[in-house]
Copies of this chain bind each other. A is one copy, B any other.
Amino acid sequence: MTKKILIVAGDGIGPEVMGEAERVLGWYKQKRGFDVTVEHELVGGCCYDKHGVAVTDATIEKAKAADAVFLGAVGGPKWDNVPYEGRPEAGLLRLRKDLELFANLRPALCFAALADASSLKREIVEGLDIMIVRELTGGVYFGEPKEITDLGNGERRGVDTQVYTTHEIRRIAEVAFDLARKRGNRVMSVEKRNVMKTGVLWYEEVAKLHAEKFADVKLDNMLADNCAMQLVRNPKQFDVIVTDNLFGDVLSDIASMLTGSLGMLPSASLGAKDANGKANAMYEPVHGSAPDIAGTGAANPIASILSLAMALRYTFDRGACADLLEKAVDAVLANGLRTGDIMQPGMTKVGTVAMGDAILKE
């Protein structure tokens, strides 16, 4: 059956890096009989400019109907002063929420060829392979009340609300435990239960689920501030980390920075399977829209291309195709090709399209 992909390339370097991912997708259509139709829509600042909102209802419907959504990146200084509801990030957040993409998988891999590019010492990061599982549709991102009220006398009051329920915690922990079984079989659950009641609930529900269904997986718990420290001190102690939306945002950015290759890291955001076994899914690079280099052809397309590999693996059940693509990326790096963000002495500097070409050739 023909699969449907919706590409929302977004702002900044989004269209450039997505262009390369789409070329690679084209290769799989031609050479591997991957039967897929592709549509394009706007999301983020570009959508706000055209429609006055960061994502339209029609795009949300298309995204729901698609087997996978590929997102480039959203945002940029151009939209710094648009109203809160119209800011580019609102489009991304609505996609996550409306598609119920509660499980955000962010691998932090240190590519052998790039171990020296990290600000950390080589021995600390070499061989690093962490999977961060971030809850993506709950917590302080979406809880109500979320408002600013005027108290008079020039005083205002801002409120955000962090909410988690048993159900939300169990389903994300389940994803983490399942993934751990296919990896190092260890899960580190991260919260701040010494200060937050949601942290207490998180801790208790994860422990309960573990005892019920995943006693074979090693489970440990860590406070979020300590986890941030440990990621810097000795990141290789971790296998799978599972945490809430806000801590996941910060911790996964730390983890990606350790690898020295932010421009290389993909992510998957997954929903629950419906009765027909279909799950909503969105794939996107971890990096942002990099407005400073947008349009110059210098952006690194590897994160987008590896996001396609994640899609092949998680949505389209084509593990062999995903392996092939990941090997092609490894080979291109081993051959010394580098975009500007990962450039090292003695290597060959190439642009977005040339990097895409090289990967296609492999």
Give A contacts to B, CB under 8 Å: 75, 84, 87, 89, 93, 119-121, 124, 140-141, 143, 146-148, 151, 154-167, 192, 194-202, 205, 224-226, 228-229, 232-234, 246-247, 249-251, 253-254, 256-258, 262
User: What B residues does A199 contact at CB under 8 A?
Assistant: 158, 160
**A93, A164, A167, A228: residue with the most chain B Cβ atoms closer than 10 Å:** A228
A-B contact pairs, 21 of them (CB 8 A): A75-B194, A87-B194, A141-B195, A148-B197, A154-B166, A155-B167, A157-B165, A158-B162, A158-B163, A158-B196, A158-B201, A159-B162, A160-B161, A160-B199, A161-B162, A192-B246, A228-B251, A228-B254, A229-B254, A232-B232, A232-B258
Expressed in whole angstroms, the minimum distance between the Cβ of A257 and any Cβ of chain B is: 4
Contact B249 A159, beta carbon cutoff 8 Å: no
- Give bound CA distance, A213 to B147, whole Å: 27
Contact B165 A155, beta carbon cutoff 8 Å: yes
Contact B158 A202, beta carbon cutoff 8 Å: yes
* Contact A140/B196 with A225-B253, A232-B254 known, Cβ cut-off 8 Å: yes
Lowest 8 CB-CB distances: which A-B pairs, in order? Answer: A158-B201, A158-B198, A225-B253, A160-B162, A232-B257, A89-B194, A229-B257, A160-B196
- Give bound CA distance, A141 to B224, whole Å: 14
Expressed in whole angstroms, the minimum distance between the Cβ of A193 and any Cβ of chain B is: 9
Contact A253 B228, beta carbon cutoff 8 Å: yes
Contact A84 B200, beta carbon cutoff 8 Å: yes
Of the residues B119, B146, B197, B256, contact of A158 by C-beta under 8 Å: B197
Of the residues B158, B163, B198, B249, contact of A164 by C-beta under 8 Å: B158
- Give bound CA distance, A233 to B157, whole Å: 34
Contact A147 B233, beta carbon cutoff 8 Å: no
User: What B residues does A256 contact at CB under 8 A?
Assistant: 229
Q: Which residue on chain B has the smallest CB distance to residue A151?
A: B165
Expressed in whole angstroms, the minimum distance between the Cβ of A243 and any Cβ of chain B is: 12
Contact A200 B258, beta carbon cutoff 8 Å: no
Expressed in whole angstroms, the minimum distance between the Cβ of A89 and any Cβ of chain B is: 4
Q: Which residue on chain B has the smallest CB distance to residue A143?
A: B159
Expressed in whole angstroms, the minimum distance between the Cβ of A77 and any Cβ of chain B is: 12
User: What B residues does A147 contact at CB under 8 A?
Assistant: 197
- Give bound CA distance, A158 to B198, whole Å: 5
Of the residues B166, B198, B258, B262, contact of A160 by C-beta under 8 Å: B198
- Give bound CA distance, A178 to B105, whole Å: 42
- Give bound CA distance, A119 to B128, whole Å: 14
Contact B250 A224, beta carbon cutoff 8 Å: yes
User: What B residues does A224 contact at CB under 8 A?
Assistant: 249-250
Contact B225 A250, beta carbon cutoff 8 Å: yes
